[in-house]
Chain A
Amino acid sequence: MKKKPFVTGPWPKLQRHWDIRAACNFIGGGTGTGLLLAAAAAAAAGQTFAPALAAGLCFIACGLTMVLLEIGRPWRAFNVFFHPQTSWMTREGVVALPLFGCGGLALLIHWAGGPGQVVAGLTGLAALTACGFLYCQARILRAAKGIPAWREETLTPFLLSSGLTEGFGILAGLAAIGLAPSWAPLAALGLGLLRLAAWQNYGKGLSARGVPAASMAAIQNIGPAFLIVGHGLAALLLATSVPWPGLAALSAIGGLLLAAAGWWAKQTIVMKAAVTRGLSIPRTPVRGSGTSRLVNKPNWETEAA
């Protein structure tokens, strides 16, 4: 069968509506969720959890603040709660309320010297809602039908795993200064490997689905450094915590690398791979007694089946 001709013309465009501020929300949301989850585990085990809990809440709050700075009408931010029926953005906002409620309360009770079980319970609830928050964030991107690189369903596991990995990476850093449990580096390493698998899976998904060449290029561009530095080197450094627990700085750096790699990937996904699908037509019109031709997708590197 003759190959269908490609369209050229208005090329798929990099979206300009969301910039680094929006990316920061995904960064803060993911990292914060990871930290909250770690805090919940630590709290349940009776280990140091408060710094992780506080940091996690801060990350999420910072992310949301950045969004507030991005939207055109920040004074109307409350309107974000109006559409829980279908909007993942509303749901993200709704989930954030109990998240901050439980998390904040846990911190307050903890600092006030309240009962540890209550604190652990509230931290656990905060972590649970944070997972919901992170899931909502992942679905926000998935629901953006204008951006093929976000539509790919394997993006959700990547965002979930990356969020947790980033949080545990930071946790490894906190552990180095005694503000988190010592198992943090190994947990981070484990999650990092999980994320790597999710990343590879995302890449495969993009190839299979077909996305604009510019999207693919953006993802592929960060691939080697993301793999070698963000995971390989980070894993090596984190692994030092087993034979040489005294060299905490190394595992801290490994944890931070792991986190930074996730942030870089998200910034890339939100700002560089976020290319529109382009405007195209499936076939050309018949002008007078001319002929119509079937048309391929515009400037997409791979073609959907």
Chain B
Amino acid sequence: MTRYVMVADLRRCVGCQTCTAACRHANATPPGVQWRRVLDLEIGEYPEVQRVFVPTGCQHCSDPPCVAACPSTATRQRADGIVTIDYDICIGCLYCALACPYEARSKVDEPVYAYGDDPTASETARFDPRTIGVAQKCTFCVDVIDAGVAAGLTPGKDRAATPACANACISGALTFGDIDDPNSAVSRLLRENKHFRMHEDAGTKPGFYYLWDKEALPL
């Protein structure tokens, strides 16, 4: 089996938002719609305070509440764990967005452009009318993965089969891959490091892991 997951190393992330920008490019999302973004959190009180940058977005949960909530079956989960949205079925009720504990979903009801009412040349070239009025979110760049796999490439290893955010990440914080493959980079990272997932109590079993420390070496 294949189960794609993202691993974010919080020790590495510096909140630069390169992944955010790369995602905006790769998926041609309109201004304000960020499928991938990095949070800027503060923990504690002055002077005992830490600041942490947390990449987030759709967690591609194993038990995705959005899939359960979706009345139209537009939101589905593939066998490889990727949660997708069929823009041609979605009714745009955004119930999924409220079911998601990760604030990962967006909707735009009419085209939004960077500079006022008119699109730029690149916005015109990339505009997809199917995305208007429906839910949208991170897809783990599913088209890239599928095209890559079809070409015999390994997502997470071969750049041409890897999500844009992981490719772009300048601190090496984001790693993508197949957790069911014990030899994948994500499996290795999860073996070698302590990790958690966000809002584990929600029972969603996210496919998005956060590394926070190295695992104590076995004696």
Contacts and interface: CB of A to CB of B under 8 A. Distances in A.
Interface of A: 5-10, 13, 15, 17-18, 67, 70-74, 76-77, 79-83, 86-90, 93, 140, 143-147, 150, 274, 276-277, 279-288, 292-293, 295, 298, 304
A220 B41 CA distance: 28
Interface in B98-112: 98-103, 107, 109
A10 B41 contact: yes
B94 A18 contact: yes
A286 B92 CA distance: 41
Nearest to A85: B68
Candidate in A71, A82, A86, A88 with the most chain B CB atoms within 10 angstroms? A71
Contacts of B39: 9-10, 279
Contacts of B94: 17-18, 71-72
Nearest to A75: B91
Given A15-B98, A146-B97, A80 B41 contact: no
B204 to A, nearest CB: 7
A67 B93 contact: yes
The 7 closest A-B pairs by CB, nearest first: A72-B92, A72-B133, A285-B10, A79-B72, A9-B41, A5-B44, A89-B71
A259 B201 CA distance: 36
A141 to B, nearest CB: 9
Interface class of chain A by DSSP? loop
A34 B134 CA distance: 33
Contact of A17 (B11, B67, B107, B133): B107
B41 A76 contact: no
A87 to B, nearest CB: 4
Given A79-B74, A143-B65, A281-B10, A7 B41 contact: yes
Given A6-B43, A79-B71, A145 B11 contact: no
Nearest to B72: A79
Interface of B: 9-11, 39-45, 48-50, 52, 54, 56, 65, 67-74, 89-95, 97-103, 107, 109, 132-135, 196, 198-202, 204, 210-214
Contact of A72 (B49, B71, B132, B198): B132
Given A145-B100, A279-B56, A7 B43 contact: yes
Contacts of B40: 9-10
Given A17-B98, A73-B133, A80 B204 contact: no
Contacts of A17: 94, 97-98, 107
Contacts of B9: 285
Contact of A284 (B68, B91, B201, B212): B212
Nearest to A92: B71
A143 B68 contact: yes
Given A5-B45, A8-B42, A277 B199 contact: yes
Contact of B48 (A5, A8, A140, A276): A5
Contact of A283 (B95, B102, B212): B212
B175 to A, nearest CB: 15
B12 to A, nearest CB: 9
Given A10-B39, A281-B52, A82 B89 contact: yes
Contacts of A146: 65, 97-103
